Structures are given as C-alpha cells and as structure tokens.
A and B are shown apart, each in its own frame.
Chain A
C-alpha cells in the first residue's frame, strides 16, 4: 500500500534551534513531494515542492531534501521562531496516479 509517514507526531523546541522534520514514503516511484504548513483552524499553505528529479528546494529559512532511494524527505528549519509553531504535513504523488497521499503531520511548538 502506498503510504506516507511523519515522525515525530509532535515536537517542542526552544527558539533559535535548528530542527529537522521527517517524511517517509513507501515507493520510490513518485512524481513529487510537497511540504505544507497548517495553522490551527486554518487551511494548508504550500511551503515547498520537490520534483522527482530534484534533490532539494530552499525558501528562506526552509530547506527540503528528497532521497527517493531511501523513501525519505526532510524539512530543515533554521533558527526557529515562535511564529513557526504550526503543524507541518508532507504529501506525495506516486507515479501513475493523480492523487496526493498525506502524512498525519508533525505538530511543532517553538518556545519563546
């Protein structure tokens, strides 16, 4: 079964710390992987999209990497801030499908 897993489910860190969120998928044949942010009671905001042919994407303090052979992606957040507190979800589009498969997310809390 094509699945997406995110560990840990929750993470609490002090402000200023660099941190890594993990996303695992079960099949290396993917079109792309997308990272989202969701604030409480809100919709999902796209952060980064990594195509299958790419190894990483960067936006500001965020860097996402993709290793298809191991079925893993990481989202690196540099110098975390309280405003980064949110739930982070990853979604994978497996090759040959039109559907996004979502992980259950990592709930991040950055303490001031």
Chain B
C-alpha cells in the first residue's frame, strides 16, 4: 500500500516556465488537497477536491490550477512560474475530513529562479 505519492521530489524552474506536480493515492479517498509550506510557516491550502470532477479554491490559489478526472489522481499545474512560488508542496488525502485522518505525501521541493 503506497499511500500518497508525489512526483517529482525536487524541481528547479526558470521564471515563466510551467510544470505539473503529480499526486496519486491508492486508498480510494474522495478528498484530496494541495498545500504549500514556506520556511518556518504552517501549511497553506491551495486547492482541494471532494471527489472526481469537483474542485475548489483554498486560501492561496492564484497562479495554480488543478483537475480531478479520477479518484486516484490530483495534479497541480503551475502556469508562468514566479519566484514567489518557491516552496515545498504537499499533497494529502482523506476518506472524509469530518471523521477521518488526513494522510500526506512526501512533498515536492520547488525552486523558481
């Protein structure tokens, strides 16, 4: 049971480039989340999804896009990367946030220069 997996682990982007961060979970969780964590800070919610085909904005969605075509996958797209998007990105999933734990992937460390 792999849990929540994320690729890549590290990435360096130039300003203006685009990329997709991949997230997959094998626990059949409906709820999936993308967070960013800046040094010394807590986690900020970027986007979340309550099921295939349903997504919604979190606290800091500007500069990002998501899609959820399957239960397992929840990719995060960065368009026109900016230095302010340098951060560690975590994907997480849950069977249901009202009663169940949230499980995290190992993270993607992104640097935009």
Contact = CB atoms under 8 A, between A and B. Distances in A.
A26 interface: no
B99 A31 contact: yes
Nearest to B35: A102
A97 B33 CA distance: 13
Interface residues of B, number: 24
Given A93-B97, A99-B45, A43 B105 contact: yes
Majority secondary structure of chain A interface residues (helix, strand, loop or mixed): strand
Interface string A71-110: 0000000000000000001010100011110111100000
A91 B102 contact: yes
A43 B98 contact: no
B61 interface: no
A98 B50 contact: yes
Given A44-B90, A99-B58, A32 B107 contact: no
A51 B42 CA distance: 22
B74 interface: no
A61 interface: no
B99 A32 contact: yes
Interface of B: 31, 33, 35, 40-43, 45, 48, 50, 58, 90, 92, 97-107
23 contacts: A36-B104, A43-B90, A43-B104, A43-B105, A44-B92, A45-B104, A46-B101, A46-B102, A49-B100, A89-B42, A89-B43, A91-B43, A91-B102, A97-B97, A98-B97, A99-B48, A99-B58, A100-B45, A100-B102, A102-B35, A102-B42, A104-B40, A104-B41
Interface of A: 4, 31-32, 34, 36, 42-46, 49, 51, 89, 91, 93, 97-100, 102-105
